[in-house]
Amino acid sequence: MHEKKFALIEGETFTIDELGREIEEIVDSKLVNLTGTKERVVAQKPSPDQNFETFTIKFNLDDLPDFVDVVATTEKKENFEDYDFDKDKLKVRLISYIRQESPENNESEHVSE
């Protein structure tokens, strides 16, 4: 659906607000919150000494039950409280559009081929 456009920003670096605005433009829908909901991925195997931290960020769409899920990395810090998502740059690793409901006749203005 949006994979071709998502692939263009995978590997790029953004602040959380910049990332939210990029997602809004790609999916042609407003987000509930430009900064999304962040969760830390705590598994560090096989490299516990890696110098980056991985987060998943969920961006809910304002007018649909669908959401965009982003896996991103940022420079590793000692404590979770040390991360400043307003200023820290995130490197986008993977973006997925998660569709919650199938529109009637599988048609929607938000879906493009």
Entry pTM: 0.77
pLDDT at 72: 92
What integer is the mean pLDDT of 66-95? 89
Q: Are 58 and 41 in contact (CB under 8 A)?
A: no
For residue 68, with 0-12 CB atoms within 10 Å meaning exposed, 13-18 middle and 19 or more buried, which class applies? Answer: buried
pLDDT at 45: 53
Q: Where are the domains of the chain?
A: 3-101
pLDDT at 42: 65
Q: What is the DSSP string of 21-85?
A: HHHHHHHTS-BS-TT-EEEEE---TT-TT-SEEEEEEEEEBSSSS-EEEEEEEEE--SSGGG--T
What integer is the mean pLDDT of 63-90? 88
pLDDT at 110: 57
| Mean of all residue pLDDT scores within the chain | 83
